[in-house]
Amino acid sequence: MKLTCLSSGSGYQFPPCHILEDVCGFRILLDCPLDLSALSVFSPVPPDNDFVSDGKASYNSARDCFAKEQEIQKRQKIETPLHAKDLIHDELWYKTVKNLHLWDPSSIDVVLISSVMGMLGLPFLTRAEGFSAKIYVTDAAARLARLMMEDLIAMNMEYQYFYGPRESGGPHWMRWEELELLRPELKKVVVGKDGTELGGWLPLYSSADVMDCMRKVQTLKYAETACYNGTLVLQPFSSGSEIGSCNWTIDGPKRNITWLSCSIFASAHAMNFDYGALRGRDLVLYSDKQFLPLMDEVQSNDASSTIPSNDLSSLRCCSADKDDWKKLTESLLSTDEILEKEKMDFICSCILQSVQAGGSVVIPYNRLGILLQLLEMIPVLLESLAADVPIYVISSMAAELLAFTNVIPEWASKPRQEKAYLFGLSIPSSKFELHFEVSKVSSSFWMFLQMFSGEPMFSHVDFVNKRKLHVFSAIHSPELLTTWQEPCIIFAPHWSLRLGPVVHLLRRWSGDENSLLILEDGVDPDIALLPFKPLEMKVLQCSFLPERRLPKVDCMLKLLQPKILVLPDDLKEKLDFSNPSLDSFSVLYYTEGETLSLPSSPEGTLDLEIASVLAERFAWQNLGRQDVMYTRLEGELVMEQGKFRLLPGITSADSHPSKNKEMKSDAG
Amino acid sequence: GFSYPDTDLDLDLLQSVTVQPPAPTISLLNSWLPPSPVMGIECLVLGAGQEIGKSCVVVTINGKRIMFDCGMHLGHSDDERYPDFSLIDGSLDCVVITHFHLDHIGALPYFTEVIGYNGPIYMTYPTKALAPLMLEDFLRISVGRGVEEKFTADDISACMKKVTPIDLKQNIQVGKDLQIRAYYAGHVLGAAMVYAKVGDASMVYTGDYNMTPDRHLGAAQIDPLELDLVITESTYATTVRDSKHASERKFLKAVHDCVVAGGKVLIPTFALGRAQELFILLEDYWERMNLKVPIYFSSGLTRQANIYYKTLMSWTNQKIKDTIALQNAFNFKHGTTCSLHFSVDNFCWCRNVNCVVSFDRSQINAPGSCVLFASPGMLSGGLSLEVFKQWAPSKVNLVMLPGHCVAGTIGHKLASGKLTKLYVDNNSQIEIRCKNVNLSFSAHTDSKGIMDLLKFLSPKHVMLVHGEKPRMSILKNKIESGMGIKCYDPPNGGVVKIPSVTVHVKAQTTDSFAKSCQSPNFSLSRCSTSGAVFSTDLTSPLIVSEDRISEAILFMDRSKARGVHKEELELIGSGEGKPQVVLYGHCFPIRSDNLTKATGRLGLSGNRSWLKVLALELSHLFPQTNVQNMGDFLQVGSFQLSVCLNQSCTRRSSDVPGVHATTCTYLCCSWCMEDEKLALAIISSVRNSL
């Protein structure tokens, strides 16, 4: 079995991408993401406003002009700080995983998707000629991914209108002479460190591609079993990082594999990390790089006050004993919660400050969970301050997304689920028999929900109802224009700051020093903010992911008890496996772009199940010594649910009665 | 070069030299073969045996005990109401509830809070959400009647807190051995069929199910499974129902005729399930016929149920899921195509609760026609009876009974046409003049559906519950004669034992065994009618036989079985030509540069020096063993290791990790079964250290 790491990814929005070869003879692609952070090399707006004022210039000639201007600038090669003019002024192209296009799509047998973000590049693959792999993804992730893809297409449309029909022969910036002129910071993004990534750029897929992709996908619930070709038993288990995101187990006759993607022990909105189910696999592929930057933090402020000290000590002295299992998991859960809560509180306080100063807040959301949590926390805070600040959510899919989050108790965290299970005890309903007249009056369903303690899982519906939260499909929708009020708090895509309503909003407020932009980790703020310079507004960049400290990783690995652990090579220095309690397994490191052979199980033995009906009629022979016997086997070897089974064969028993008989007489 | 002491001993030789072996050691086999008789499945019927009500079956599968459903019998008010839990011998591993109807969940609070069951309880998400509503409503009605129940409202909420909600098709591991999985049953929202598996024995408990899709629910769905037992409901054991359209047309016509004539229609119904189904039907009709007559809904239960129908939309049928496009939930104005109006946007809302109630009381006798859904069903009390008393004296009004009414209720009397007068209180009575229609909108499968499911699953045994005794025995005969499946219909307290037949015994095998047994190995032969296997008679038919398996042998050593391909093993003959010892082999690569480096350190070179280094290494790693260097090979007990130069060595492992053929040296090993552990330890340590 071989592992090729196509991309080690960067953070939540660009998960790693791997190919596992020869898993019982099959080739498995793990995730198919899009590197949306690479969009930052484009400029969403013309470099200076004078240019736009010349309204008569056609769009196509506008593009030529940009190009010319850029060229002049670049030819001079002045060593000045990066300027908005250095960015590429053209229709957006999208960067797929490098080298994935070098693999023959028809050679892939199975695609496993771990999260919504891991699916965004899938339509590129599914439309490829000869692609026939089975794609497995959780039900919720598939639905969310469809929304995300359609939103991307809708936002991208704006550029297509602006730049007109696509030019033939590829965009101008892809020509070598143009690439040579690119500033090194941007060139690194476009062609990669070693100059091999240019082939990964593609224009965005169409709605038809997305539809086609969704048709080819097989959706599963958490812990549902899918069996590929009778050989591989595949199961997704909740990873806690997002609604529908999962870790996969791949069980075959030779190998049991756990693919551990970004996992969070205690999630505020999604179902918790189900690590218990992942135990007992002999190979753990750890593709989660999220805790990397945090490692340094652990070393530098180990004694930081963020975690109660007793928690850390309990983590340190943890052992895999069964008695400690509960204690261990409790401590694993608790720290995540505390940290996430603190972080959210800090963000909220920043938002309040700027709103009170009369500024507006733009939040280009990325993780659904963060959006949901902020949508719950902010209105409450505003209410407590009696501030009349509207909250807008502007996105083509926002309404559907928010509605969707309230109809999926199966994917939500335990406390959310409990909210949905209202016990009717509080209502002496026999006293007030209520009568609803059915008519076409479109009235307040949300009030209706609220009145009967029929609390929705996520309280954003309450705020929509109270007209505190407004959901609009587009920034130019007439409803938005009539309710528009500043200062306000706006949630809108896209976090790359190159697409969607965010671009317009930033242009409006970039000069306002009281306004605030909240960026998630994962974008390079220097390049991302370039088109909006000079920038007066405050920018808060923060990582929303809970930090996983080293002891946690240690403990988790101890719980999973793998025989072989496969880690990204970045962790080589950072994880110390000299700890005597951890040496029960061997550790391998993989490097981006390289293929790593994974050893077969040392015993080289497989399990074989023999039908007892068959076993009973074997003609046993002794082999000299009393305790060794042998028999010639019969029947049919089949592969069922990832297991070799020897079943009474139909052919040998029925079509050759005479031969069978003779064999027996031979033997006995 | 290196050669084995005895080579090329093939299977035929093995056969020939062991013509008359000593009798096999029976004890060795006995510990390997499954115990006889096998454990199998044992069912204890605590309720719904040859009756309908208090469904409860305790099933023991290979020692693991599961209770399916924990219902109460609404037809009894004494101890008969609950299943006789004292019959359970020993502890339960889990309880699984199929759906929220009282005859399936009614006794659960009693069982957990009063009897004291403390183990895991599983039910689907909608069942967990809706069950407390049903239970509380039941308790309220009992309190209203002055009946004291065996559990309290607190017991209900305490009990529900212990429930683990599950999703459809999700594999739930209960303990180490028991696995359960729920499938869509379509009977009511959240109804499930439950698959349970322990070891090789598996079964399905259907609960109540419906094989035809509804307006609001889909049809039951289950995977093809290999089952020892199916326990199925048999409410309609002999009935084959008409097409649903006929009864729907009848329903709509009756309602239409009444409202057009200015009458009022009363539909007494329980809040969950039928109400939604009929409402969707009526709503569609209203829209089609452009009727403006108001439809009222009246029930605290319905209200909340509707919320759940909304939240749990993914459990309804595909059509509703599709038509309620999610974006409409926020954008009501465009939501006109959605058929689940009752839960989304069509309630005229009045915030002042008291005002609504008083308004309603006057509305009962307000002029004009209307349709009212009122609870409870069967006119057994509450608002539906109160409204009935007001509306019954008028000829133009209609009472629509959309289901079976239990004997003793006013609904039952009305349906059977025996009701002409009704006492309103002790001294006044009313004449019943209104029309009434009784239609069966049942969400149970009919006899055809049961047979279809059984044909699809084709289990080895069938057990019938939840039906009427005479009809069940007719169905039982039909199943046994028609399908050849053994069928049981035990009464309450009865026990059914089923031997499990799909048992496997465990053995170990190797990669090359699997490979050679999976690749085709055809042989052609002509089979003569005279009985000789190989014949030159050209008139006899040509037989293609495929004997891949018979090239393999199964060895048994100290009750450990191991399947090997004939090329993988060697036999070392003893004096009399009888093989004494079986040798297993493995040939694996190590990186030669590492080995050369190690020998270089000792100032040696050549193959023999490699063995010296390995010998040193091994005696260091396994100090308690005696490592002998025999020149050509190393020997530790029966374990032998040598450098293998044979490129086509049959023992060579196919999976070569981390080393390229050019830079590696193969080491060939062989060992007896008795030294297997040692051999594997040596191999893995040699691999790791070099």
Residue A576, pLDDT score:
65
Buried b (16+ CB within 10 A) or exposed e, B588-602: bbbebebbbebbeee
Residue A336 pLDDT class (50, 70, 90 cuts): low
**Chain A touched by B23 (CB under 8 Å):** yes
Contact B345 A442 (CB under 8 A): yes
CA–CA distance, A15 with A145 (Å, rounded to integer): 14
Sequential DSSP letters for B335-376: GGG-S-HHHHT-EE--S-HHHHHHHHHHHTT-SS-EEEEESS
**Chain A touched by B161 (CB under 8 Å):** no
Q: Which run of H or of E encompasses B330?
A: none
Amino acid identity, position B327: Q
Inter-CA distances, A44 with A203, A516, A518, A529, A531, Å = 16, 20, 19, 11, 7
Residues 6+ apart with CB under 8 A from B99: B105, B124, B127, B185, B187, B188, B190, B191, B192, B207, B208
Contact B563 A464 (CB under 8 A): no
CA–CA distance, A577 with A583 (Å, rounded to integer): 7
Q: Which two tokens stand for residue A490?
A: 């706006």
Place of tokens 């920018």: A539
Instruction: Give A628's contacts in chain B (Cβ within 8 Å).
Output: 555-557, 582, 673
Residue B12, pLDDT score:
44
Instruction: Give B21's contacts in chain A (Cβ within 8 Å).
Output: 621-623
Contact A443 B347 (CB under 8 A): yes
Instruction: Give the chain B residue whose CA is nearest to the CA of A432.
Output: B357
Are the C-beta atoms of B365 and B405 separated by less than 8 Å? no
Are the C-beta atoms of B563 and B508 separated by less than 8 Å? yes
Q: What is the mean pLDDT of residues A181-205?
A: 86
pTM comes to 0.79
Instruction: Give the chain A residue whose CA is nearest to the CA of B510.
Output: A605
Place of tokens 């029976």: B26
Query: Is residue A454 over pLDDT 60?
Result: no
Residue A76, pLDDT score:
52
Strand partners, A95: A35, A201
Neighbours of B519 (CB within 10 A): 8
Share of chain A above pLDDT 90, in %: 21
Nearest to A306 by CA among A335, A348, A280: A335
Q: What is the mean pLDDT of residues A373-388?
A: 82
Sequential DSSP letters for B660-685: -GGGEEEEEEEEEGGGHHHHHHHHHH
**Chain A touched by B555 (CB under 8 Å):** yes
Parallel, antiparallel, or unpaired: how do β-strands A595-597 and B495-498 relate? unpaired
Among positive and negative, which fits the CA dihedral A297, A300, A303, A309?
positive
Query: Is residue B353 over pLDDT 80?
Result: no
Contact B24 A438 (CB under 8 A): no
Contact B504 A609 (CB under 8 A): yes
Q: What is the mean pLDDT of residues A346-350?
A: 85
Alpha helices in A537-648 (DSSP H): 550-560, 612-616
Q: Which two tokens stand for residue B609?
A: 């020096």
Are the C-beta atoms of A38 and A96 separated by less than 8 Å? no
**Chain B touched by A176 (CB under 8 Å):** no
Q: What is the mean pLDDT of residues A349-359?
A: 88
Higher pLDDT, A282 or A50: A282
Determine the distance in angstroms separating the CA of A388 from the nearest CA of chain B, rounded to an integer: 23
Q: Please identify among residues 560-599 of chain A the ones whose CB lies closer than 8 Å to any CB of chain B.
A: 586, 597-599
Residues 6+ apart with CB under 8 A from A95: A34, A35, A36, A38, A39, A197, A200, A201
Query: Does ipTM top 0.85?
Result: no
Count how many pairs of residues, chain A against chain B, have C-beta atoms within 8 Å.
Answer: 334
Q: Which two tokens stand for residue B664?
A: 């590696």
Contact A627 B549 (CB under 8 A): no
**Which phi and psi (to 5°) does residue A636 adopt?**
-130, 130
Question: Would you call A139 exposed, middle or buried from its count of C-beta atoms within 10 A (0-12, 13-18, 19+)?
Answer: buried
Report chain A's C-alpha Rg in angstroms. Answer: 29
Strand partners, B671: B584
Q: Tell me the per-residue pLDDT of B456-480, one tens digit each, with 9 for 90 and over.
A: 999 999 999 998 899 999 999 999 9
Higher pLDDT, B118 or A521: B118
Sequential DSSP letters for A316-382: HT----HHHHHHHHHHHHHHHHHHHHHHHHHHHHHHHHHHHTT--EEE----HHHHHHHHHHHHHHH
Residue B502, pLDDT score:
59
Contact A433 B546 (CB under 8 A): no
Mean pLDDT check: name the lowest of B17-26, B30-39, B185-194, B376-385.
B17-26
Neighbours of B260 (CB within 10 A): 12
Residue B334, pLDDT score:
25
Parallel, antiparallel, or unpaired: how do β-strands B347-348 and B264-268 relate? unpaired
Are the C-beta atoms of B59 and B196 separated by less than 8 Å? yes
Instruction: Give B129's contacts in chain A (Cβ within 8 Å).
Output: 409, 420-421
Are the C-beta atoms of A633 and B505 separated by less than 8 Å? no
> Does residue B643 sit in helix, strand or coil?
strand
